[in-house]
Amino acid sequence: MKKETAATRRKRLLYKPVSVFDALGEHDEESIETISEAYRDLLDSGKTVRECVENARAMAEQWGFKPFERGVKLNPGDKVYTADNCKNIVLAVIGSAPLSDGARIMAAHVDTPGLDLKPNPLYEDSGLAMLKTHYYGGIKKYQWLAMPLELRGVVFLKNGGHVDIHVGADPYDPVLTITDLLPHLSAEQNKKTISEGFSAENLNVLIGLRPYADVAAGDEDRVKLAVMSWLNEKYGIVEEDLRTAELSLVPASNARDVGFDRAMLGAYGQDDRVCAFAGLHAILRAENPVHTAVCVLADKEEIGSEGISGIQSGHFDAFMEELCDMQQVKLRHCYAKSFCFSGDVCNAYDPNFADAHDKRNNARLGYGVSVVKYTGSRGKSGASDASAETFSRTRGLLEGAGVVWQTGELGRVDLGGGGTMACFIARRNIEVIDVGISLLSMHAPFEVVAKADLFMLCKAFSALFAD
Ligand code: MN
Ligand code: MN
């Protein structure tokens, strides 16, 4: 018998991560560009949770999904969705197998860390009109200073009606900004830690300078009055309506190709809209699945998945129960047989911050889908920690579909940590594992992903729905 060479043995026995670029098929580059373009458009038009949910709803309608209605019988292949509270959406394609055989679920979140307005945001100080903010989720505050910002959201009026606010996206629109201290006067700030140097109560947005024309010099709040007059003319709102509003500041820049080779994509909110997009991409194309395919895009993950639109709420269960009731299946029996990809991002290894990672266990940009067995902090605390069985099942599914994948872990042990929605899905007795992609500059106003990874992620979620 011929002796195996060391090279062959190395290939057979030792694991080496595979770059997606070494595994692409003939037409894959075209698919990568088509997918990236659609993703870029969706990122630019959906910078708030409401916009993301509305975009998903509109796309679902285009692809033949109907709003779920109790009492309307559903047959295999039928496509339905529910988006009752404007801030999350669940889409389903009914399978040929009964729900007692379980569903295939993909869950992602469409909220993203950033800045919201306080209920009483508007004030004038030293001749400048300003807005007070309250940050949402884990941000590094300094990243939000001295950059152009848009204001997006909804304001409810006294009569219960509402108006959408959208300032800064059009190139002819004005933008807003939070000022930073000049380096010439930063001697004291430089001595502070980063968290001490940038305080949340100083994240106030500059929105106006010109005083209201008919107010005498020296009178108070004449710039504020001018700003409020502008808002009133444009949107019909008065100051007290701002209390019943949900308004967010978002980066005014749009998604862009990154790198001379355009292999990456940079944009705000890719945690976790990259998974939301891929999940949507997969479910819109899910035709006649065996198991009922379900895609849930939830809110509030960045602040603990609480609230009626978070994955901890009964909204998801209520919808699933409706589907089960139709087939006289108990929800708990459906859940016990279901399988879920919790679609969320993990950090990509960043050579600029090498010591924050474990090079051997952190995911790398361009190396495909990231499967994360556990997240959490201080010894996996708070993690769902998927079993080896679940991981093995996932491996089989991904490799069967030709998906390039790697493992991920959230940085160096004991440096910090974080969580995903997986633990809240597991709580329902649904088998679940985190499947997403890695990104650079997570939670920054400009996060970077590899387009090739996104392509693989779409394939991964399609493989789940084809299972
Ligand atoms: Mn996330
Ligand atoms: Mn996050």
Task: Tell me the pLDDT tens digit for each residue of 30-78.
Answer: 999 999 999 999 999 999 999 999 999 999 999 999 999 999 999 999 9
pLDDT at 215: 80
Which residue reads 């669940």 in tokens? 90
Average pLDDT over residues 144-154: 98
> What would the two tokens of residue 337 be?
């047989």
| pLDDT of 1 over the 80 cut | no
Give the Å distance between the CA of 301 and the centre of ligand 2. 7
For residues 228-251, give the mean pLDDT. 97
CA of 61 from ligand 2 middle (Å) equals 28
Q: How do residues 172-204 score in pLDDT, each as one tens digit?
A: 999 999 999 999 999 999 999 998 999 999 999
**Nearest ligand (C-alpha, residue 444):** 2
Give strand pairing partners of 206: 130, 177
- Banded model confidence at residue 217, pLDDT cuts 50, 70, 90: confident
| DSSP E strand boundaries for 72-198 | 79-82, 89-93, 103-109, 114-125, 128-136, 149-156, 162-167, 177-178
Alpha carbon of 48 to ligand 1 centroid (Å): 15
276 close to 52: Cβ distance less than 8 angstroms:
yes
pLDDT score of 437: 98
pLDDT score of 216: 80
Query: CA 264 → CA 194, 257, 261, 267, 440, distances in Å?
Result: 29, 6, 8, 10, 10
Report how far ligand 1's centroid is from the alpha carbon of 108 (Å). Answer: 8
Long-range contacts of 307-312 (CB under 8 A, 24+ apart): 308/85, 308/87, 309/49, 309/85, 309/87, 309/88, 310/88, 311/107, 311/109, 311/421, 311/424, 311/425, 312/424
* Cα(438) to centroid(ligand 2), Å: 12
Cα 268 to ligand 2 centroid, rounded to whole Å? 12
**Rounded to the nearest whole angstrom, what is the distance from the C-alpha of residue 271 to the centroid of ligand 2?**
5
Mean pLDDT of 328-340: 98
DSSP SS3 for 34 = helix
Whose atoms come closest to the Cα of 421: which ligand? 1
CA-CA distance, 284 to 49, in Å (whole number)? 20
Question: How far is Cα 280 from Cα 7, in angstroms, rounded to an integer?
Answer: 42
- Which ligand minimizes its atom distance to the CA of 303? 2
**Closest ligand relative to 136 C-alpha:** 2
Q: Residue 85 Cα, ligand 1 centroid: separation in angstroms?
A: 21
E strands present in 60-148:
66-67, 79-82, 89-93, 103-109, 114-125, 128-136
Query: What's the pLDDT at 416?
Result: 87
Ligand nearest to the CA of 272: 1
Using the predicted structure, report yes or no on whether residue 159 has a pLDDT greater than 80.
Answer: yes
DSSP string over 305-355: S-STTBTTSTHHHHHHHHHHHHTT--HHHHHHT-EEEE---EEBP-GGGGG
Cα Rg, the chain, nearest whole Å: 24
Q: With 80 as the cut, is the pLDDT of residue 218 above it?
A: no
How many Å apart are CA 435 and CA 108, to the nearest integer?
Answer: 10
pLDDT of residue 324: 98
Closest ligand to residue 107's CA: 1
How many angstroms does the Cα of residue 366 sit away from the middle of ligand 1?
19
Return the pLDDT at 363.
97
For residue 441, give the ligand nearest its CA: 2
Of the candidates 255, 306, 297, the residue with the CA atom closest to the CA atom of residue 137: 306
Q: How many Å apart are CA 279 and CA 460, to the nearest integer?
A: 9
Per DSSP bridges, beta strands 405-407 and 339-342 are unpaired
Hey, what long-range contacts does 276-279 have (CB within 8 A, 24 or more apart)? 276/52, 276/56, 276/108, 276/109, 276/110, 276/343, 277/38, 277/39, 277/42, 277/43, 277/454, 278/108, 278/343, 278/454, 278/457, 278/458, 278/460, 278/461, 279/106, 279/107, 279/108, 279/343, 279/461
Contact 136, 115 (CB under 8 A): yes
Kind plus residue range of the DSSP H or E element containing 442:
none
For residue 363, report the distance from its CA to the centre of ligand 2, in Å.
16
d(CA 323, CA 271): 30
Q: Strand 438-439 relative to strand 245-251: parallel, antiparallel, unpaired? A: unpaired
Strands 162-167 and 339-342: unpaired
302 CA distance to ligand 1 middle (Å): 7
Q: How far is the CA of 417 from the centre of ligand 2 (A)?
A: 11
CA distances from 218 to 207, 212, 230, 302 (A): 20, 12, 21, 44
Which ligand approaches the C-alpha of residue 137 most closely? 2
- Look up residue 121 and give its amino acid: P
Q: What is the pLDDT of residue 214?
A: 82
Query: Residue 262 — very low, low, confident or very high, per pLDDT cuts 50/70/90?
Result: very high
Of how many residues is the chain composed?
A: 467
pLDDT at 264: 98
Distance from residue 238's CA to the centre of ligand 1 (Å):
36
Q: Which of 287-301, 372-386, 447-461 has the lowest mean pLDDT?
A: 372-386
Q: Please, which pLDDT band fits residue 85 given cuts at 50, 70 and 90?
A: confident
* Cα 453 to ligand 2 centre (Å): 18
Helix (H, G, I), strand (E, B) or coil at 26: coil
68-83 residue pLDDT tens: 999 999 999 999 999 9
Q: How many angstroms separate the alpha carbon of residue 74 from the centre of ligand 2?
A: 36
Q: How many CA atoms lie within 13 A of 346 on its CB side?
A: 32
43 Cα–ligand 1 center, Å: 15
Segment 218-230 mean pLDDT? 92
Q: Residue 401 Cα, ligand 1 centroid: separation in angstroms? A: 25
